[in-house]
Structure 1
Amino acid sequence: MNKKILLCVTGGIAVYKAVVLVSKLVQAGAEVKVIMTKSAMEFVTPLSFQAMSRNDVYYDTFDEKESGVIAHIDLADWADLVVIAPATANVIGKLANGIADDMVTTTLLATTAEVWIAPAMNVHMYDNKSVIRNITTLNDDGYQFIEPSEGFLACGYVGKGRLEEPEKIVELLAERFNMSKQLPLRGKKVVITAGPTRERIDPVRYVSNFSSGKMGYAMAEAAAALGADAVLISGPVGLDKPIGVTVIDVESAAEMLEAVRSQFDDAAIVIKAAAVADYRPKEVYPQKMKKQPGDSTIELERTTDILKTLGTMKTHQILVGFAAETQNAVDYGSGKLESKNLDYIIVNDVTDPDAGFGKDTNVVTLLSKNGTHRPFPAMSKKKLATLLLKTIIKEESEQLNDR
């Protein structure tokens, strides 16, 4: 790995795994330095980490081991990457709110290196609204999280909250460093739309669809993981914001079109995965429509076809559409590929039990203007997103390299 890793160890029973983590990182070729909180030292002594890392262990902000430097600033500048493992609810809360009251938090606020956070806590603590709020804040600030695993916890509960295994953390870090110079979308802007739109009838009602946004969010995560400057334009969904992705929230088709236009000119790839409403109420009532005797009719008008509009605007952009159909999916998709001036369209039959809105899996066929007709079997949307992007990148390598 040949990198400098600063490991921040906070107080929890999972501290024993952090000792193993140091050993695994050193074996992988990393140079490791460790900072501990006082609570962490209640579980494992600094000597254990010193023996594994072959470096001094830091735990007191005012214990300057070298008179020529300020320790927490020197460590902050030294690191190629900082890992907090285990990360307690306490340190997550402090970091989210800019609190620096010990060696760990002071160093974390001083570093400009990437910070990866590996939470470990009781399942109910992990689900607590304040913890979720703090994690969301740190996500938005660009911190990378290593999700805890599920299993038997030290407190006796079974659920999500176990520190990820050291071997897996090392694997993630190795992948991060080994791929950093080879990421195919590094320096490229990728714009993705996701989720439904809502077209208001009155202040309490709207026209919409069943799109969950999961496929679009997976595409945004995959683009960011492949090095892109990913911009996600999202309709109303109940999903967490992807790490490392710029998110623009919109509601209506008109708002989504305006947001896409604002991001379009310097984009290398534009992927329209959103399920935009085809129609909106012609009249939007300023007050709630009261129930009347008998039937009622709402007159609808067409919304602007965003994908077709982008097809007319396209210059250098690689334009990718999605088509959710209920019959003859490939035939309908082929027609849209041509009529909307797309480079690719990803079609799926939402009646398939492994596909459709709200599912965690999908089954699609990728069609291209160059004749590609590649089916993808049922798999998780996250895995599928990566495979779709890698396929497009491979076919468009020459155009992407010219950008």
Structure 2
Amino acid sequence: MTKYQDIFTPGKIPDETYNDRAETKLVPEFNGALNSGGKIVLLTGQTKIGKTVLVRKVISDDKRIEIQASDLTDSSGNDPKLENVIATKLGTFPIEKETIKKIESENQISASATAKVGAKIKFWKSFISSAEASASANASRTGSSVINEIFKDDLFTKVSDYLIENEYVLVFDDFHYLSPEKQKEVVRRLKDPLSKGAKIVIVLIPNRNEDIISAEPDMMARTREIKVPSWKPDELRYVPNAGFKKLNVKLDDSVVDSIVENSFMNPYLVQDICSRICEDFNINETTDEVRQILIDEEQLNQVYNELTTSNSLIDLIEKGKTTKGPKRRKFHLINSQSSVDTYGLIIRALGMLADQNEIKISRLVDQINSIIREHDSGPRRSDITQTLGRMVDIAKESDERDPVLVYENDMVKMYDPFFSFDIKWKYMRE
């Protein structure tokens, strides 16, 4: 029997419900870009749209060296060197036999150190330290110089050549989270191995490919962008249709349509919703006979409400910035006993319009006025735009390079599907 957790896998690489989206031709295009070489492949697409899944499906685990932005940053300010990170990811790094002979011929290094070299070096940096310590304790001046010659060689060249010779693919995930300075450093160092035939993939969100160019202007001709397009409704329907079929469960088409509609075109959210439906309706594993599960709108809404996180960023944005002066004016909500300030009005109105990625300010103002009791006069447009500007500032403080909320050219923009999902359902039952 197959458990539902093996079929619907939010946050993991899907197997049973994987959709290669053949019509997009992403897989052959990605393979072609990797095999042609000579260029960094820039894989761009919205948050959790399937970029990492594509990488892991196309490049086998034993040939993929995956580096996260966090691997290259250190809270202490002493960022790890790229070559040390790569060597650690490799886990083992073989040393040429002639190097071993050279050490042994000096007869100055302890047997334990020689044995470590003769096998394979695990965690390169740690070994360097132990070998140098052994040299200082046991070696003559000549022996020490041999150690320095071998282990203070250009490690970056060694690991780069090893990656090329063994056809590894170097993958940088969430590259946009690195500081501009770190991006520049990494891109600059990748130029030489790239010219030797290294296969390199950089995964990032849209409109961040210019970061690569600004880091090293002459890289423009050395990059190839592959855009992972937004999912279409039919592509998303494949997940619940295939998954529940494997569980021998039948759902009404209206339920599948609702799942897709509330996924904000994001496959991760589809997986999450399907997983929660299984949990709530005791669909634990594949059954021998087909089960028809009836789920009404109220029950579906309950599922969506359960999935909303206690999004602290939404709370932070709604709370707003503390300002001097009179207390904020409150507005009474229609069909509710609640009264909220302009921040609260904007959050609720955005929730009602969350299915749109871009919202005209005039549409937002109309939506705000529609949720205020008739006897209340709504906030002025200028008050709304000023408050909205402060809310955007809070979003930028949380993530300057990819804020969940943007306001420019009289348009409010929300491209994070998880923020949109949470903001839609936060006050749905108020």
Normalised TM-score (structure 2): 0.21
Q: TM-score by structure 1 length?
A: 0.22
More RCO (CA 8 Å, sep 6+):
2
Normalized per residue, the structure richer in helix is 2
Greater fraction strand: 1
